[in-house]
Amino acid sequence: MKTSFDGHFIFLVIDIIRPICLFTVLVNIFGTSYGSEKEKKIEQETDTMRNFRDTLAIGVLQWEDSVEDLRTASESTLKGIASWKSIKKQ
């Protein structure tokens, strides 16, 4: 007979094993010394990639804002032309 405790126990075991596995992976990549040259290099590359990502994200937002500004300007121009035409007819 299966109880609800069995499911909770499995999640408890996974929560215990996951950090151990992560620690093992990190030790295999960087070794046991803190602040190794490899770690510093990877952190620098990660920072560079994040900066590039952020720059692109800002560019996308600015582009979207520019498109909206252009749309608004076009609509205003059309309204202005329509107003001048109505004034001309009077």
The lowest-confidence range among 4-8, 40-44, 69-73, 81-85 is 4-8
For the entire predicted model, the pTM comes to: 0.50
Mean pLDDT of 47-70: 94
Using the predicted structure, report yes or no on whether residue 61 has a pLDDT greater than 60: yes
User: Domain-by-domain residue ranges, the chain?
Assistant: 1-32
Using the predicted structure, report yes or no on whether residue 1 has a pLDDT greater than 50: no
Question: Are the C-beta atoms of residues 39 and 30 closer than 8 Å to each other?
Answer: yes
Helix (H) or strand (E) holding 22: helix 4-30
User: Residue written as tokens 């126990």?
Assistant: 9
* Contacts for 29 with CB less than 8 Å, ≥ 6 apart: 38, 39, 42
**Alpha carbon of 81 to those of 16, 69, 86, 89, 90: distances in Å?**
70, 18, 9, 12, 15
